[in-house]
Amino acid sequence: MRPHKSWSAFGFSLKLNALQPIAARARYFGRDTREAGGFRSTQTRTMTLNFPNQCRYYDATRRAVQFWGHDSAMEAAFFVTEEALKRVQPNMQLDEAGLLRAFDLNRDTIYAVAAKVYKRGKRSYDLVSTDF
């Protein structure tokens, strides 16, 4: 005997086999899995990461500069480590002001690397020296 799930909406009761493929269940509801409203996307989505917020701050605990990027309505936090900033600007001062200045002077390069790291699809967006 297969497990079933029942849904009731607008007086109609639906029984779907929980082991049915996702695409079959999506078609049952009239959704194509390639549509945004479907259960699962089978197409690769276009990444449009931008950096409208110019704010950044030094996180002394992580020894990194944090900044934010936006992909549509989603916000992602990025951290550029001290070692990564040293690689981008070797002559920087190793205090908070020096790290923030190095970030500001190399913002375009850092944003390009952040976009590459974001494309990898990881949850953590730490930009380390090997990314540069």
**Average model confidence (pLDDT) for the chain?**
76
Residue with the two structure tokens 């996702």: 22
The domain that holds 102 is classified in CATH as 3.30.160.140
By the 8 A CB rule, do 99 and 82 touch? yes
- Co-location of 68 and 14 in the same domain: no
Residues 5 and 68 in one domain: no
On whether the CB atoms of residues 127 and 110 are closer than 8 A, the answer is yes
pLDDT the model gives residue 1: 53
Tell whether 36 and 54 lie within a shared domain.
no
The 3-class secondary structure across 32-68, one letter per residue, is CCCCCCCCCCCCCCCCCEECCCCCEEEECCCCEEEEE
10 plus 36 within the same structural domain:
yes
| 39 and 54 co-located in one domain | no
Instruction: Return the half-sphere exposure (C-beta side, CA atoms, 13 A cut-off) of residue 111.
Output: 17
Query: Mean pLDDT over residues 73-92, rounded?
Result: 92
Range of the domain at 66: 49-131
Average pLDDT, stretch 110-125?
Answer: 85
Structure pTM?
0.61
Mean pLDDT of 89-95: 92
pLDDT at 63 over 60: yes
Q: What value does the mean pLDDT take over residues 105-121?
A: 90
In terms of domains, do 53 and 108 share one? yes
75 and 126 inside one domain: yes
Same domain? 35 vs 59: no
pLDDT band at 132 (very low <50, low <70, confident <90, very high): confident
For residues 33 and 7, give the distance between their C-alpha atoms in angstroms, rounded to a whole number: 20
- Say whether both 59 and 120 belong to one domain: yes
Confidence of residue 33 (pLDDT cuts 50, 70, 90): very low
Q: Do residue 23 and residue 83 come from a single domain?
A: no
* pLDDT at residue 38 greater than cutoff 50: no
In the chain, the number of structural domains is 2
